[in-house]
């Protein structure tokens, strides 16, 4: 029996857990950070909560006799990815990163590419008065400092009550979203710019197409640096890596 730990919190991680669960003689454990109150539970075993940094993760890998570690966290969850890389190196456990490809800018896109959420906030005053913020609920604070801008903020769960929230309206909703829905939102709320992370994938790409069609600029936050190491862009290749690594 082999045991796999998937670092999760994404649709890709849940789909990977489902594929691995179909294999004989492999137990799959998915780890969730515990940020979401009612997460979609992946197939197999689930554990929830931080490990206690790199050393805590290394202890977990040893104690649970993990045979392979697959980091399928969100491309913007950089801390856990660096921790995973270091812990895998320390313990000698095979380690893979499943990172879906970033969206690529097309000639039709009006993107202002920035390195951080904070940089996105500093770009807005010269750009827009009514902004669609699609970066989740954890990093809203930099936008609360901006005077004279109204925000439509979409997230899977509402921001915690102790967080600073910018002026505007909160929309609680989970993707995937259709192009029609995104166009309606942009038009009904008279949105004149969007802020997005370059998350990649299909589930939230409709807003990019809607912005193209309506000629709306997107302040696009680029991905953080990730560790070097074995990397694949989809579940099919993650499964190939797993079979080659374990058998
Ligand atoms: N950042 C985003 O935009 C985004 C978007 C969608 C989903 N998510 C998901 O939400 C989770 C948290 O994201 P984040 O950006 O806050 O992460 P992060 O900044 O990279 O990680 C912060 C800390 O949270 C804990 N952690 C993160 N992911 C974990 C996991 N899968 N299992 C156990 N502990 C985890 C770790 O705590 P310890 O040091 O104590 O181990 C880590 O050091 C991730 O699982 C990610 O896949 C993030």
What pLDDT score does 40 carry? 79
What pLDDT score does 70 carry? 98
Instruction: Find how far residue 193's CA is from the centre of its chain.
Output: 21
What pLDDT score does 92 carry? 98
Q: What is the rounded CA–CA span in Å between residue 136 and residue 157?
A: 8
Q: What is the rounded CA–CA span in Å between residue 25 and residue 19?
A: 13
H or E, element range at 127:
none
The reply to whether ligand 1 has any atom less than 6 angstroms from the CB of 9 is yes
Closest residue to atom 4 of ligand 1, CA basis: 74
Give pTM, 2 decimals: 0.95
Q: Which domains does the chain have, with CATH numbers?
A: 2-100+225-246 (3.40.50.720), 111-221 (3.40.50)
Closest residue to atom 6 of ligand 1, CA basis: 74
Q: Is the pLDDT of residue 36 over 90?
A: no
The reply to whether ligand 1 has any atom less than 6 angstroms from the CB of 10 is yes
Using pLDDT thresholds of 50, 70 and 90, give the confidence band for residue 122. very high
Q: Is the pLDDT of residue 134 over 80?
A: yes
Q: What is the rounded CA–CA span in Å between residue 116 and residue 197?
A: 9
Q: What is the rounded CA–CA span in Å between residue 53 and residue 162?
A: 25
Ligand 1 atom showing the smallest separation from residue 36 Cα: 10
Residue-wise pLDDT for 16-31, tens only, equals 999 999 999 999 999 9
Residue-wise pLDDT for 175-225, tens only, equals 899 999 999 999 999 999 999 999 999 989 999 999 999 999 999 999 999
Using pLDDT thresholds of 50, 70 and 90, give the confidence band for residue 87. very high
The reply to whether ligand 1 has any atom less than 6 angstroms from the CB of 34 is no
Ligand 1 atom showing the smallest separation from residue 197 Cα: 3
Name the H helices within the chain.
Answer: 11-21, 53-63, 78-91, 117-123, 141-144, 179-188, 206-214, 235-246
What pLDDT score does 68 carry? 98
Q: Which residues of 1-22 are buried (b: 16+ CB within 10 A; e: fewer)?
A: ebebbbbbbbbbbbbbbeebbe
Q: Is the pLDDT of residue 11 over 80?
A: yes
DSSP-derived 3-state class of residue 124: helix
What pLDDT score does 200 carry? 96
What pLDDT score does 186 carry? 98
Q: What is the mean pLDDT of residues 131-157?
A: 95
**Residue among 5, 7, 9 whose CB has most ligand 1 atoms within 8 A, to mutate:** 9
Helix axes 78-91, 53-63, angle to 10 degrees: 50
Closest residue to atom 3 of ligand 1, CA basis: 76
Q: Is the pLDDT of residue 66 over 80?
A: yes
State what percent of residues in the chain have pLDDT above 70. 100
């Amino acid at each position: 029996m082999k045991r796999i730990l998937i670092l999760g919190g994404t649709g890709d991680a849940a789909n990977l857990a489902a594929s691995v669960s179909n294999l004989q003689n492999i137990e799959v454990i998915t780890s969730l950070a515990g940020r979401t109150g009612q997460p979609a539970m992946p197939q197999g075993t689930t554990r929830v909560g931080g490990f206690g940094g790199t050393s805590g993760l290394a202890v977990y890998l040893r104690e649970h006799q993990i045979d392979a570690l697959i980091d399928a966290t969100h491309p913007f969850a950089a801390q856990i990815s660096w921790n995973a890389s270091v812990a895998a190196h320390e313990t000698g456990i095979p380690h893979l990163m499943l990172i879906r490809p970033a969206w690529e800018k097309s000639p039709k896109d009006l993107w202002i590419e920035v390195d951080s959420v904070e940089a996105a906030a500093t770009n807005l005053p010269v750009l827009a008065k009514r902004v669609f913020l699609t970066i989740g609920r954890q990093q809203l604070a930099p936008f609360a400092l901006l005077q004279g801008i109204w925000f439509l903020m979409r997230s899977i769960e509402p921001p915690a009550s102790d967080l600073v929230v910018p002026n505007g309206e909160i929309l609680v909703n989970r993707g995937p979203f259709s192009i029609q829905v995104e166009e309606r939102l942009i038009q009904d709320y008279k949105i004149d710019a969007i802020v997005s992370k370059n998350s990649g994938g299909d589930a939230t790409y409709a807003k990019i197409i809607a912005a193209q069609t309506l000629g709306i600029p997107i302040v696009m936050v680029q991905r953080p640096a990730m560790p070097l190491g074995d990397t694949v862009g989809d579940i099919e290749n993650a499964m190939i890596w797993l079979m080659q690594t374990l058998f």
